[in-house]
Amino acid sequence: MQDRDAVLEALRGQRVELPSWAFGNSGTRFKVFTQPGVPRTPFEKAEDAAQVHKYTGVAPSMAVHIPWDKVDDYEALAAHAKRNGISIGTVNANVFQDDDYKLGSVCHPDPKVRQKALKHLLECVDVMDATGSRDLKLWFADGTNYPGQDDISARQNRLAQALRAVYERLGADQRMLLEYKLFEPSFYTTDVPDWGTSLLHCVALGDKAQVVVDTGHHAPGVNIEFIVAVLLRAKRLGGFDFNSRFYADDDLMVGAADPFQLFRILHEVVKADALGAAGGVAFMLDQCHNIEPKIPAQIRSVMNVQEATAKALLVDLDALREAQSAGDVLGANAVLMDAYNTDVRPLLADLRQEMGLAPDPYRAYLGSGYAEKIIAERVGGTAAGWGA
Ligand code: LRH
Ligand code: MN
């Protein structure tokens, strides 16, 4: 049995970053459903994110997405977040929602369009300077829909050129996280479709360039924890965009569709001693709550990460390694399953009480009256959304 205090210490130090866009209205190409009380500004999004931290104690930062979270004064936004007990975290660039980007952004055949996209990426580093953020996260929708539409290698050269320019702009303590995605919105090639392509670009750039693993961005059946183990071994795992899916990039609550996969992923993280801040892995949620209430869904998601992490921390690594080196297949599998089948909810309830929090953050929030308050207050104005 793993040392209880060590497990609690690791859980107390866990950090899960929340996506500002999870608090706004979101949906699919078929419909974006609106909800009452949704924030109208990045300031209100920060207030909602602070509620998740208030009840979980392990979500002290909110990632922003530019221009969805564009404000006149980013220092003021960071100060407002601070007043609410959180900080502004990862800055996400957005070069996928402008008509000019139909054929791509930094990979576009037209140098004028590439220049426009690069300008936005560099402006996002200016935002990081203002908010004190460490990480710039880059996801490119760039790709093609038909064979022959453009040259695959030429697009890679254009991408490398833009990434180099951004890399040179980064400050000493800043990083760029390159996210890959198999497909959508492009349906023939995607210019950063998999971990290998992202890793190649990161290695070509330097140590400040790391790979982001979005758990919804793989082909069905891909063993994500294998990718995680390989990137950790190469010291190139910069972060996760946690969510879950049954089919494609569904962006459902992390752990909802496949809690066992989330456990296997966090087992690799714990085993590599990369759970804490020193591990350099940014644990972010990237989700859209199309039909469910957003703040409770974020709280439930953080709890799902905590539960999978607690189970991973309970794996008896000595017994596992002993069984593995003895070739004891079933014995080794049983060590992992024992941890996975452990009900860790009482342990987490105790942890929260030790942290001065309610044992069940989800119930505590529902009973707080905050949802009713924001529905009453947030009348008028334009509810935040993807603006797709
Ligand atoms: C792309 C993605 C990316 C974000 C967006 C909100 O699918 O995962 O991380 O920019 O979702
Ligand atoms: Mn993502």
Ligand nearest to C-alpha 249: 1
How confident is the prediction along the chain (388 residues), in pLDDT tens digits per residue?
579 999 999 999 999 999 999 999 999 999 999 999 999 999 999 999 999 999 999 999 999 999 999 999 999 999 999 999 999 999 999 999 999 999 999 999 999 999 999 999 999 999 999 999 999 999 999 999 999 999 999 999 999 999 999 999 999 999 999 999 999 999 999 999 999 999 999 999 999 999 999 999 999 999 999 999 999 999 999 999 999 999 999 999 999 999 999 999 999 999 999 999 999 999 999 999 999 999 999 999 999 999 999 999 999 999 999 999 999 999 999 999 999 999 999 999 999 999 999 999 999 999 999 999 999 999 998 999 876 5
pLDDT at 138: 98
User: Best mutation site among 286, 288, 290 for ligand 1, i.e. most ligand atoms within 8 A of its Cβ?
Assistant: 286
The structure tokens listed for 273 are: 């001693």
Say how far apart CA 216 and CA 182 lie, in whole Å: 9
Q: Which residues form ligand 1's pocket by a CB distance below 6 Å?
A: 21, 92, 139, 179, 181, 214, 241, 249, 286
Nearest alpha carbon, ligand 1 atom 11: 286
Check residue 19 and give its pLDDT: 98
What pLDDT, on the 0 to 100 scale, is given for residue 192? 98
Q: How far is the CA of 184 from the centre of ligand 2 (A)?
A: 12
- Within 10 angstroms of residue 187's Cβ, the number of other Cβ atoms is 11
Ligand 1 atom nearest the C-alpha of 96 is 10
**Contact by Cβ (8 Å): 239, 281:** yes
* Residue 18 near residue 325 (C-beta atoms within 8 A): no
Closest atom, ligand 1, to C-alpha of 65? 10
* Distance (Å) from CA 361 to ligand 2 centroid: 25
CA separation (Å) from 335 to 41, 223, 319?
A: 48, 20, 7
Q: For residues 166 and 197, what is the distance between their CA atoms, to the nearest angstrom?
A: 18
What is the pLDDT, as a whole number, of residue 386?
75
Question: Which DSSP symbol is given to 277?
Answer: G
In sequence order, what are the beta bridge partners of 208?
A: none
Determine how many CB atoms are found less than 10 A away from the CB of residue 63. Answer: 26
Q: Please report the atom of ligand 1 found closest to the CA of residue 216.
A: 8
Say how many C-beta atoms besides its own lie within 10 A of residue 27's C-beta: 16
Q: Are the CB atoms for 384 and 40 separated by under 8 Å? A: yes
0.95 cut: is pTM over it? yes
| Distance from C-alpha of 245 to C-alpha of 49, rounded to nearest angstrom | 23
| pLDDT, position 26 | 94
